[in-house]
Amino acid sequence: MRRHGSDDDKFAELIYISGDDELNASESDDQAEFDSDNAVDDLLDEPETGLPPQLSYSVLKESEIRRRIDEDASHLSAMLCLPKSETTLILRHFNWDTSKVSDSWFADEFEVRRQVGLPTAPQKVTLPPPSDRCSLTCTICFEKHRLTSFHSADCGHRFCRWCWRKYIKQCVVDGPRCLQLRCPEPSCKILVGDDLIDQIADEKVRKSYSNFALRSYVENSSKRKWCPAPNCEYAVEFNSIGEGDYDVSCLCSHNFCWNCAEDKHSPVDCETVKNWSLKNAADSQNELWKKVNTKPCPKCSRSIEKNAGCMHMRCAAPCRHEFCWVCLESWVGHSYSCNKYKEDGDPAVLKSLGEELKRYQHYYERWAANEKSRQIAVRDLKDVRENVVLKIGSIHGENPIQLVFLTEAWEQIVECRRVLKWTFAYGYYLPTGEAAKKQFFEYLQGQADTCLERLHDCAEKEMRKFVAQESCTKEYRAFQVKLIDLTKLCRTYFENLVRALENGLSDVETGMNAKRQKMKN
């Protein structure tokens, strides 16, 4: 922490270590002379301080999900001394929560069997007389088939292979409910295990059933979700639910919030994103515009916009009510010397609505502008990775590892644009009565914005001359160091900004309390 201004400055204890001096120092460094390449090497080789953060989530591929399903079922099978087909059914019933399965099973095995749909007692299998054991009549198709063509679930109700196959296929076509497939006998509630389906169904049906089983492992769990990116087949398992940091980076490169499945939105919380999204919806803003610019017809209550100078208003068919725009009284018998002037509600309220619309536009325009800049930066980052690195490497004789500072700079720009975008939603919902917090927020936001613009300008404009044509080594080295410096400085500014907003700008209250304590002493 460092002090700005006099002791009377309310933010004396609140300004983070990355401040104006660092910006000025970086500006002076831009003009520095370099006698060798050692400065660049030192910056590139500078070790990162601290340990990398531990991820609180795991990204799961399809093969990993299937492996976990098999491991969970096998482990439970060994623990409960049950066939794996039965433990799979139990796990699905308890949404793949092995701890809950264990607790419930040892508390009341009979009740668990009843709830899941497993036999609660050994089932007696009745065989036909010895003379008829070569064939049996199916109670679905009423055809006689060889005894070896009959199959049953754990309940013992036997049906021919062909009826079973049709029954399973139809249930799988109906969707995920096939995972609760029960014996075809109307009065029977026993579930059909995966082993019977694998034994009877054709390959296409087995594959569909297997996919439903895989999806249930993700969708029925409170710890797992699918990545919301289009066409992404990865799932994410979150291990720290309730700890507040829900940012996830999928292997498909999509960054999102695990809690609400929206795009990554730190430093604002999910509730702010939800409110802001509703605020941005066209219908929401149309309602606000209607309040400011229209009045309801006194007869039918239809909203009417005044589009001419005369105060004589006529509602559209079929109402056609005529009234005065100013006082909303009937035009019949109305006097031009209208002394009943009455706005649509309290004039102060109408003025407030106009100011609210202007305030919203201020924050939305900047939110949208940074989102547009972020999208362009994403496109530019792709170009840097695929083309610029190769061109600059060819011109200046450097390998991709030496040019990693270019991609790091653009990755930082993309991330900072995302953060800066959401700070405007944060600012919009910042309580208007908390002037100190608002001033501190705008200071941090302004400092971060200034640094980001310098980094973006350097990466976007100054880089061009090193791509278009060969330049002297001295100029290139100066650009390299400048870009590395600005990337690090920008990262520091935005880390401070994010930390402050996620803490609810609590440093303001801490600083003000410290100041009051000093005054008392």
Q: Which residues are catalytic?
A: 310
Contact 373, 417 (CB under 8 A): yes
Check if the beta carbon of residue 177 is closer than 8 Å to that of residue 171. yes
Angle at 480 between CA 407 and CA 399, to 5 degrees: 60
Q: Please give the distance of CA 410 from its chain centroid, rounded to a whole number.
A: 22
Measured CA to CA in angstroms, residue 426 lies from 375, 420, 463, 492 at distances of 21, 10, 33, 20
Cα distances (angstroms) measured from residue 240 to each of 57, 256, 457: 7, 16, 39
DSSP 8-state class, residue 513: H
Burial 411-443 (b: 16+ CB within 10 A, else e): bbbbbbbbbbbbbbbbbbeeeeeeeebbebbeb
The rounded distance, in Å, linking the Cα atoms of 451 and 18 is 11
Task: Single out the residue of 487, 511, 521 nearest to residue 8, CA to CA.
Answer: 511
CB atoms within 10 A of CB 365: 11
As a whole number of angstroms, the distance between CA 290 and CA 2 comes to 49
Give the Cα separation of 490 and 485 in Å (integer).
Answer: 9
| Burial class for 166, CB neighbours closer than 10 Å (0-12, 13-18, 19+) | middle
Is the bond into 230 cis (omega within 30 degrees of 0)? no
* Residue 182 C-alpha from the chain's centroid: 37
d(CA 29, CA 39): 12
For residue 215, the Cα-to-chain-centroid distance in whole angstroms is 20
* Cα 26 from Cα 43, distance rounded (Å): 14
Q: Are 240 and 252 in contact (CB under 8 A)?
A: no
Length of the chain: 521
Q: What count of other Cβ atoms lies within 10 Å of the Cβ of residue 516?
A: 10
Question: Strand, helix or coil at 83?
Answer: coil
Report the 3 state secondary structure along 184-201: CCCCCCCECCHHHHHHHC
